[in-house]
Amino acid sequence: MVTEIKNGAATVYGKNGALHVEGTCLVNKNGEPVQLKGVSTHNVNSFPQYVNDDAIEFMADNWGMELFRIAMYTALADGDYGYADGTDEHRAELEEMIVRSVKKCAELGIYCMIDWHILFDYNPNMHKDMALKFFDKISVVLKDYGNVIYEICNEPNEDCTWEEIKSYAEEVIPVIRKNVPESVIVCGTPKWSQDVDIASKDPLKFKNVLYALHFYASTHKQSLRDKASEALANGIAVYVTEYGICDASGNGAIDYDEVDRWLAFLKKNCISYSIWNLSNKDETSAMIAPSCNKTTGWNKEDLSECGRWFTELNK
């Protein structure tokens, strides 16, 4: 089902197979720690053109992309409806996009993350019924794809508490696990997925779960790494499903020194990470230059500063 060899060499999936969590680490089929280098789309309602087979293949072959994260906003954002507040027709298109992408990633031997991207809907319980239906439906269709990671709520925020997130997760996780018992699942944490320390004091009672930690290097620094260290010391596994090298608005200046500190921290703790974002929006975090309309096959000149940094990044 998933390609293990491509062009004569083992793919990232071929080397690692279906993943699971041991202690604070995401590990491969042999129990060895893995650290996946991922790329996150922007909101796929707004930038669907980048979710195409050629682009996925291009990034896997040329950018060292090992995981493709599909950021599916659930509620209205930037003028575009999300999965939960859009139409049935729109939902069907998004589901088709996800299934197609997972299959393409499988064919390339890379991983794919399905991100239920709550943001303006700051409490996952707001669209819980829709989430339960979505994850049930999609996990049945994708049950034989061991390269899928489920991210059940991107960034709870405002006054949403860990107790509220936990109760949501306790309903959503069993729905996925009924269809895919060994699935790897990432759960968001309070305050835009920063309060992993709070989650670690009252963790979920499921195996193969990681907790989302999001950082934007010009905004989030040592104090956020301290929270992550506390969470790890308390025994939970952390996944940086999204990060930026600029500030938390997705724009502003790049802080390379802080980025280096973060990457060293992630490496030391074997934490996987996906960069925000694959689009040509006129903002620092977008990897494609605003003037470039190509949707695959980008040259160096087609990329923004962030895009060039990422494509030259070696683990």
Q: Which of 261, 310, 315 is nearest to 285 (CA)?
A: 310
Q: Does 78 bind ligand IDC (CB under 6 A)?
A: yes
d(C-alpha 266, C-alpha 237), whole Å: 12
Q: Does 248 bind ligand IDC (CB under 6 A)?
A: yes
d(C-alpha 128, C-alpha 124), whole Å: 6
Which residue bears the tokens 């779960």?
209
Q: Does 151 bind ligand IDC (CB under 6 A)?
A: no
Q: 4 an active-site residue?
A: no
Applying CB under 6 A, among 107, 242, 255, 258 the residue interacting with ligand IDC is 242
CB of 313 to ligand IDC, least distance (A): 19
Which CB sits closer to ligand IDC, 75 or 198? 75
Q: 155 an active-site residue?
A: yes
Q: Does 77 bind ligand IDC (CB under 6 A)?
A: yes
Binding region for ligand IDC (CB under 6 A) out of 164-172, 241-249, 259-267, 295-303: 241-249
Q: Do 139 and 172 touch, CB atoms closer than 8 A?
A: no
- The H helix count followed by the E strand count for the chain is 10, 12
| Catalytic residue from among 242, 283, 305, 312 | 242
CB of 115 to ligand IDC, least distance (A): 9
Distance, C-alpha 307 to centroid of its chain = 17
CB of 278 to ligand IDC, least distance (A): 11
Binding region for ligand IDC (CB under 6 A) out of 179-187, 204-212, 231-239, 248-256: 248-256
Please, what is the end-to-end C-alpha distance for the chain in angstroms?
Answer: 28
Q: Residue 12 contacts by C-beta under 8 Å, 6 or more apart in sequence?
A: 36, 66, 109, 110, 111
The β-bridge relationship of strands 25-27 and 20-22 is: antiparallel
Binding residues (CB under 6 A) for ligand IDC: these are: 43, 77-78, 119, 154-155, 192, 214, 216, 242, 248-250, 276-277, 281, 283, 285
Catalytic residue numbers read 155, 242
